[in-house]
Structure 1
Amino acid sequence: MANKPASVPSLYECSVTAVAEYYSYFKRDLRDLPETILFDVYMNLYNQNKLCILGVEFSDLDVFSKLLKITNSRVMLIKCFQALQCHGTSLAYDLAQSYKIKAFYCQEKYCVSLKDSTIDTGIRLGGFLIDTGWFLESITVLTKCKELCLTLADNLPAWKKILECCHKLLHAETIYSQFDTAILTKTLAEETVQKLKRSGEHLCFAGIYTQFSIHAFYLSNYHLAYEWSAMAVQQLNPNSCSRVTVESLSQASKSCVVKREFQLAQALVRLAVYLAGEAFGQQHPKYADALRNYGFYLLNSDSMKDSVTVYQKALKLKKAIYGDKNLHVAALKEDLAYALYVHEYSSGRFNTASHHATQAIETYSKLLPEGHLMLASAHRVKALILEEIALDHMSQYMETQSKLLSEAEKLHKNALRVCLQSFGEDNVQTAKHYGNLGRLYQSMKKYQEAEQMHLKAIEIKERLLGPDDYEVGLSVGHLASLYNYHMEEYRKAEKLYFRSINISLKLFSETYSGLEYDYRGLVHVYTHLGEMENAHDYKVIIERWKTLREEHESKERAPLEHHEPSYSLATIQESMMIIGRPLLLP
């Protein structure tokens, strides 16, 4: 069979290549070209690896503003931008500073059209910097943009611009853990929403409601996060913006996960993944974002192996677009590290998990200030992994074990300190850190300190989440383990195991993986109490659990199948209106 002849470049392609190759001759007139042609010339320069030239061109705010108007080739622009950042340029910072100067200049002028165009540039640039993971620079741009918006006349067009700016700014501030300023942005957004509602104009508020939900979620106010997500999903319709639809469905799924409404969470995230693939393609960052949320659902719904598969796919996509020097990539490495830690907990194979956690910390350390909450989160994951690795050295390498446990303690304490500074004592995340320290002290044979940490974690979680929440059950199970295996408080352990089991059965099912640890704990309890009949009963229960678990895992489908979900947006909207009602599958 004859080889297929190579395609012949079009006259346009040859012209673009010629202009790129002889850039020095055309550079004075280059910026006068239409946006689409200019974009193609720059992408040709990128393909020729002429990054120094591109760095100079892109650092001009007027030039880059033109490129931001080309929305159908956004992934290529992201790749090019990120390549320049990795090449050592300060492009994100330079553009942010240029915009600050331009916005300040516009505030002193009375030309409405100049203000409008500068605001539009700020919204596009700020959104692009969020998409590329440069949150601090996006906050710089969007903050100045917001200030400029507030100088406009108090009317409908101005309110729309304010809300669009607040939408992006609130997202950047929340993700970057600038919660003090995020509250101010949220307040302005809420006030603007009320003005727009009173104006009588029909608008979709799904996007801003989703940002309100994300903000509440990061503050561990899960009930409020669900309420905002439910309102966002109710605003959606088949004609809604694809990006807003996917983001709203994804965040709603996360909100349902923490409320342990797993059937609804699954419906939401699978629809989000499908729509992201259809609207953006399966090589797009938004598809990777949807996969990341899918991995979150799978991990929390007891499908650890599938969550690892999905996180690995999302990380591969993100790395292909952003490279390694990027916060989006670091966050996914942290997610994957934690999923691998959970998945391999019984096997003890933590090398890959440790590798991803270490890489995430290295990237965060380069891109974030010391003591940042994102860095502390990765420290927590690394500490959990180090503790398990240390336990594997228990019998043979006591010196190595002690060193690993000491390092884990340092990381956990640092993470707790940062969390307390960000959220205070009364927060679920703070309680999790206390629980982590409790487990670590148990491994370090500091049993009294371990008990104090576990009790403190349980008290905070019960007060904030209620007595039957998953997080409470987790901490109760850890305290039961302490009483059982180390403090010989068997009756206390028995009572706590029963409570942990009841919570797990209520929230999950008889196949839940965590039940095995509680059942084995009860076997140990009854064996040491001399109640051999009870010990035998729980051995039988463990064998039954194994059979049910194997049957459950054999029924699970491949997590990355791409086909249209069998339930509609309308069905999901109805179910979200009546939380607790079974999903109305056709």
Structure 2
Amino acid sequence: MSEQPSTLYKLCINVAVTDCVTLCRFCKKEFRVLPDNVLFDFYYKMYLEKRLCLLGVEYSELEVFSRMLKVKHNRNKLLKSFQSLIDHGSNVMEELFLSYSKHRTASEPITNNAIDVGLKLGGFFNEGGWYNYAIDVLNVVEELCKKKGKNVTILCKLLDCYHKRLHAEAVYCMFKEAEDTYELAQSTIEELEKLNAVPNLAGFYANVSALFFVRSEYDEAYKWAKKSLKLLNENIPPSRIIVEVLRQASKSCVVKRRFSQAKLLIQQAVSLASHLYAHDFHPCYSDALMDYGFYLLNYDSIQESVKVYEKALAIRREIFEKHNVHVAVGHEDLAYALYVNEYSSGRFYSARENAERAIRIMDKILPRDHLMLASAMRVKALILEEIALDLRDGSHTREQDKLLLEAEQLHKSALALSHSAFGEHNVQTAKHYGNLGRLYQTMMKYEEAEKMHLRAIAIKEELLGPDDYEVGLSIGHLASLYSYHMKRHQDAEKLYKRSIDISLKLFGMFYSGLEYDYRGLIHVYTELNDINNMLHYTHVMREWKHLRQDHESTDIFPETVKPLNEVISEFFKMC
């Protein structure tokens, strides 16, 4: 089939860009008279032709770029071309911020339009993962709103500013600042209540839930997620907010091990995002897929989670290419899913490559010792430990020691970052203790390993209760230490059985993690010469394998969008 000829419109754009050096030199003002969507096409063609220096000059002008922010149907193209300018070395973000910040000292009165430009610019920086600049811009918006005076219109704009800033600060791990923003938003809501003018708060409540989620305060995250769902309806503009609320609520359900609720919400979010952005690679769809992968991984649909994470990362790389925090997080989450998926095979090359890419990107674009690095370092350390374990034949001792020492350094660095951000009594800190415990077990430092495991268990039990998945995981690791290395078989037996009880309660009899506890118990009873129990659990293990083979895979990439009110109603029936 022959290629269709270009339209006259496209031919005009092509000619204009081909001669853009001359045209921009002499006809810049005339070009800017064009409608916003036509001017956008001109600039995007400039990006495709790699005329990035000229494009950077144009996009650095706030008046021009604010017009491009209005062309919402080409958002992914704007993000893509903007990221290319950053990679090219342009100071476009700094220029836009400095230009906008001049409103602080301008002699003319502050207009609603000036505030709206800041809200749109801050929102755009949020979408692109440029959170530090989003926060800077939104700080200026806050100042302008407060100078403008208090009326319903300005208070609503101020609340929108806090909504966007809370999101940026939470994701960027600025927890103290996020807490302050939350308090300011609550005060603004109280003022709007007095005027009977409170807007729909579903999106804001979802951001509050997200803040508690990243701080590992899961009960609060779930509480605020339910609040956001109660306010959700089809009339909330834009529809992207509906997707964000569903996504965040699903994540909160996952960490509370409410998998039926989580599945209901995240499949609706994926389906809705797919329909909203059917013909585009769009960040919103990628975000929904990332959270869907999170659900699948935690629900033990590991191979399916890998496929979903791969698709999400492909979308992010299509938009942002390499040097972007969204891409880094995509590599990190895929690395961990691959690590879990290949745990028994030992083929960790792809997992290691993705983890190292994540760390390289974060090192390049984040401040030194940023908390987001802790999670990526943890994933790489886990992978290195498993690679080292596969070198136990004695012929690779030096290489094994090198890998284990690097893993220890990564785990310790991650623990220090977590401790600095969260303190001792936090789930993330406890996870890092547990990871060090496993590593010290591999390094044959058994007493240190036991201390780390006991500390992890104590923190998790205090925060999550005795029957949480995280507690069961740490108990299983301690049982392995007692069983295989410290010859404390009676203690190991009790711990394995407790870990099994937790897994059965949360996941059912087909859960993959049961394999390690069953194998551990078989080893314990073999060492204790308890033949009856050894044969019993050998039979249980055999039955478990049959259940795993018969376990149906989740139907990934759902397409059916249900009526929103039905989804919300069904969710609360499960509470």
- The residue number in structure 1 matching 2:338 is 340
Work out the CA distance in 2 between the residues paired with 1:391 and 1:341: 14
Where do residues 248-287 of structure 1 align in structure 2 (5 Å cutoff)?
Answer: 248-281=245-278, 283-287=281-285
Where do residues 21-420 of structure 1 align in structure 2 (5 Å cutoff)?
Answer: 21-23=18-20, 24-25=22-23, 26-100=27-101, 102-106=102-106, 109=107, 111-113=109-111, 116-201=112-197, 203-241=199-237, 242-281=239-278, 283-395=281-393, 396-420=395-419
Work out the CA distance in 2 between the residues paired with 1:571 and 1:270: 14
The amino acid that maps onto 1:272 is: A
The amino acid that maps onto 1:256 is: C
CA drift of 1:385 comes to: 0.5
Q: Is 1:551 aligned to residue 550 of structure 2?
A: yes
Question: What's the secondary structure of 2:148's corresponding residue?
Answer: coil
Question: What's the secondary structure of 1:73's corresponding residue?
Answer: helix
Work out the CA distance in 1 between the residues paired with 2:570 and 2:440: 44
CA drift of 1:277 comes to: 0.8
Work out the CA distance in 2 between the residues paired with 1:578 and 1:518: 34
Unaligned runs of 5+ in 2: none
The amino acid that maps onto 2:33 is: D
Work out the CA distance in 1 between the residues paired with 2:389 and 2:271: 42
Question: What's the secondary structure of 1:365's corresponding residue?
Answer: helix
Work out the CA distance in 1 between the residues paired with 2:521 and 2:492: 8
CA drift of 1:283 comes to: 2.1
CA drift of 1:571 comes to: 3.6
- The residue number in structure 1 matching 2:452 is 453
Work out the CA distance in 1 between the residues paired with 2:198 and 2:183: 21
Identity, % of aligned positions:
49
Cα 1:235–1:16 shift into 2, 3 Å: same
- The residue number in structure 1 matching 2:534 is 535
Unaligned runs of 5+ in 1: 581-586
For the Cα contact (< 8 Å) 2:103–2:110, is it kept in 1? no
For the Cα contact (< 8 Å) 2:264–2:571, is it kept in 1? no
Work out the CA distance in 2 between the residues paired with 1:488 and 1:135: 51
CA drift of 1:563 comes to: 2.3
Q: Is 1:507 aligned to residue 502 of structure 2?
A: no
CA drift of 1:491 comes to: 0.5
For the Cα contact (< 8 Å) 2:304–2:553, is it kept in 1? no
CA drift of 1:27 comes to: 2.2
Q: Is 1:443 aligned to residue 442 of structure 2?
A: yes
CA drift of 1:99 comes to: 2.0
Work out the CA distance in 1 between the residues paired with 2:166 and 2:226: 19
Q: For structure 1, which segment, 184-193 or 345-354, has the greater mean C-alpha deviation from structure 2 after superposition?
A: 184-193
Work out the CA distance in 2 between the residues paired with 1:457 and 1:256: 23
The amino acid that maps onto 2:216 is: S
Q: Post-superposition, which runs of at least 4 consecutive aligned residues in structure 1 deviate over 6 A?
A: none
Work out the CA distance in 2 between the residues paired with 1:198 and 1:280: 39
The amino acid that maps onto 2:323 is: K
Q: For structure 1, which segment, 198-207 or 459-468, has the greater mean C-alpha deviation from structure 2 after superposition?
A: 198-207
Work out the CA distance in 2 between the residues paired with 1:347 and 1:276: 35
Work out the CA distance in 2 between the residues paired with 1:72 and 1:5: 25
For the Cα contact (< 8 Å) 2:104–2:143, is it kept in 1? no
CA drift of 1:47 comes to: 2.2
For the Cα contact (< 8 Å) 1:96–1:138, is it kept in 2? no
Work out the CA distance in 2 between the residues paired with 1:260 and 1:373: 25
Cα 1:517–1:33 shift into 2, 3 Å: same
Q: Is 1:563 aligned to residue 562 of structure 2?
A: no
For the Cα contact (< 8 Å) 2:460–2:470, is it kept in 1? yes
For the Cα contact (< 8 Å) 2:274–2:559, is it kept in 1? no
For the Cα contact (< 8 Å) 1:230–1:576, is it kept in 2? no
Task: State the aligned residue count.
Answer: 568
For the Cα contact (< 8 Å) 1:264–1:572, is it kept in 2? no
For the Cα contact (< 8 Å) 1:103–1:145, is it kept in 2? no
Work out the CA distance in 1 between the residues paired with 2:12 and 2:473: 64
The amino acid that maps onto 1:263 is: S
- 1:526-581 CA deviation, whole Å, 9 max, x = no partner? 000010110010000000000011101xx224412x4215x54334323443554x
Cα 1:332–1:569 shift into 2, 3 Å: same
- Among 9, 17, 20, the alignment partner of 2:17 is 20
Work out the CA distance in 2 between the residues paired with 1:434 and 1:249: 32
Work out the CA distance in 1 between the residues paired with 2:44 and 2:564: 38
Question: What's the secondary structure of 1:72's corresponding residue?
Answer: helix
- 1:490-548 CA deviation, whole Å, 9 max, x = no partner? 01000001110110011110000011110110000000001011001000000000001
The amino acid that maps onto 1:529 is: L
Work out the CA distance in 1 between the residues paired with 2:4 and 2:536: 72
Work out the CA distance in 2 between the residues paired with 1:94 and 1:263: 47
CA drift of 1:8 comes to: 4.0
Cα 1:364–1:5 shift into 2, 3 Å: closer
For the Cα contact (< 8 Å) 1:119–1:145, is it kept in 2? yes
The amino acid that maps onto 2:564 is: L
Work out the CA distance in 2 between the residues paired with 1:576 and 1:47: 45
With normalisation by structure 1, the TM-score equals 0.94
The amino acid that maps onto 1:33 is: L
Work out the CA distance in 2 between the residues paired with 1:27 and 1:129: 26
CA drift of 1:333 comes to: 0.2
